[in-house]
Amino acid sequence: METFLYVLKNKYADFDGRARRNEYWMFVLFNVIITIIGYAISLFGIFLESAALGILGTAFLFITGLGLLIPSLAVGVRRLHDTNRSGWLLLIGLIPFIGFIILLVFLVSEGTQGPNNYGPDPKNPINELDGLGKNELV
């Protein structure tokens, strides 16, 4: 939950930098949980024949979907950046079936070690000074 809230509070629309697998998949997990809650509210409305509950569930899904669209795209782009790929590759997911599989492979791949074209390594930022004369700083 902390990772999900961190992404929402600190990196809501931040498309720069890199995101570790943990950051991405924890965000996706809580996004899925929120979606399931919305569908459950809607289904209870259908089974209880309550129009108000069905509308509430649908409104919940719509509002959370809109609210989480930008951070979902941003964390996806940062995840691709961690694998040293362009964020535009998220669009490959629009290709039916095969695009989803290719994108999934990119998203589960381990990030590049050390700095890459998109920033320092979020997994091990201390090693960024290696080879940059850190002994001269002493």
Asked whether the predicted pLDDT for residue 130 surpasses 80, the reply is no
Could you read off the pLDDT of 85-95 as tens digits, one per residue?
Answer: 999 999 999 99
Tokens (6 digits) for 90: 């998220």
- Point out the least confidently predicted range of 47-56, 107-116, 122-131: 122-131
Query: What total number of domains does the chain contain?
Result: 1
Position 84 confidence tier, pLDDT thresholds 50, 70, 90: very high
The distance of Cα 113 from the centroid of its chain, to the nearest Å, equals 20
Tally Cβ neighbours within 10 Å of residue 18: 23
Domain that holds residue 22: 2-137
**Residue 135 pLDDT exceeds 90:** no
- Full-model pTM: 0.82
Nearest CA-CA partner of 98 in 109, 108, 106: 106
Q: Are 115 and 132 in contact (CB under 8 A)?
A: no
Query: Is the CB of residue 43 less than 8 Å from the CB of residue 73?
Result: no
pLDDT score, position 133: 44
Q: What is the pLDDT of residue 134?
A: 45
Residue 57 is predicted with a pLDDT of 87
